[in-house]
Amino acid sequence: MKIAVIGATGLVGREMLAVLAERGYGQDEIIAAASERSAGKELEFAGRTLTVRTVEEAVSEKPEYAIFSAGAAASRQYAPMFADRGTVVIDNSSAWRKDPDVPLVVPEINIHAVGGHHRIIANPNCSTIQMVLALSPLQREYGIRRIVVATYQSITGTGLRAIRQLETEERGQQQPETEKAYPHPIHRNLFPHGGDFLENGYTTEEQKLIDETRKIFADPSIEVSPTVVRVPVVGGHSEAVNVELRKDFDLAHVRRLLEATPGVVLQDHPSANLYPMPITAHRRDEVFVGRLRRDPSQPNTLNLWVVADNLRKGAATNAVQIMQALIARKNQQHPTT
């Protein structure tokens, strides 16, 4: 099989290559593509070396799948080119997420949203993926009325510039303003600013949590009140989630539901200091959930703490899982004889 990774030299792109190798695609034809300035660079993949190619060259190769992490502008430009040639595009940017004709997919929840005619599939925002996967069994069992969420998002969500800024500040060194990812120091600091501010006072990262949750759950009535915070952490995103359900719940039953949910790991033993943390979620594909407790201030409401590696399940792993699910579906429909 021929698989293209677009944006292969970035943080998420490199993680996509790692996930592909881990999941058994080491012998397939992998096309690593990026911008023209990155063409010719070499990347290690499954014990061999890939030479980075331009996106135009990757289009001409007509791969079966193209996994994108090159930014919204590149996705809008190139995804239709791949799709016109029969390639299935799985895009990690914000370019297609709100398009009503493009499915927004977390495979454990709504792979059924992808039809045979779809050639572009959107990967949700990293903070959305982990939250909706943790909440998906509650939505099915009880229904969700309202979500209040505060995120504590890793600097890796902003890319290599953010990592360099944190490392430079940790060393006590000065950095030119033009090279900084953030308008404030991130070392020993945090700030309620993720993405760009909108006219309503929310940020683009916060608006994604609202819009994408409703689309993935196919329920526009769900109310979402988000606050995004950037923290000096490398391992992954954390979220404090308060969810009001449409029916009352039994806490023991909630625990059983979460334990039975594919891709979710319950870590909820506070007396033994067991709860999810970015340092233990780092480089893991699962979504970790803990600190389960009733909200004492109103009925039918649950508090929980959700952590996941934003570069893995929040981006690369989810995209590869979408591809794997589509391959499995195709093999079921057209089994080898």
Residues 144 and 78 in one domain: no
Residue 336's pLDDT band, with cuts at 50, 70 and 90, is low
Selected catalytic residue, list 117, 237, 282, 334? 237
Average pLDDT over residues 256-273: 98
How far apart are the C-alpha atoms of 316 and 325, rounded to whole Å? 14
Number of folded domains that form the chain:
2
Q: Are 110 and 218 in contact (CB under 8 A)?
A: yes
| Cα(290)–Cα(2) distance, integer angstroms | 40
Six-digit token string for 29 = 């034809």
pLDDT, tens only, 199-243: 999 999 999 999 999 999 999 999 999 999 999 999 999 999 999
Q: Which CATH number is 51's domain given?
A: 3.40.50.720
Q: Quick one: 234 and 181 in the same domain?
A: yes
CA dist., res. 55 & res. 69, Å (int): 12
The CATH number covering residue 181 comes to 3.30.360.10
Say if residue 111 is in the same domain as residue 140.
Answer: no
> Residues of 2-38 as b/e, b for ≥16 C-beta within 10 angstroms?
ebbbbbbbbbbbbbbbbbbbeeebeeeebbbbbbeeb
Are the beta carbons of 249 and 148 closer than 8 angstroms?
A: no
Same domain for 294 and 277?
Answer: yes
Judgement on whether residues 143 and 276 belong to the same structural domain of the protein: yes
Helix (H) or strand (E) holding 37: none
Same domain, 237 and 143: yes
Residue 75: predicted pLDDT: 98
List the one residue out of 140, 70, 87 whose CA is nearest residue 110: 140
Same domain assignment for residues 159 and 24: no
Is position 126 annotated as part of the catalytic site?
A: yes
- Does one domain contain both 101 and 165? no
- Print the domain residue range for 100: 2-124+315-333
Of the residues 112, 117, 126, 193, only one is catalytic, namely 126
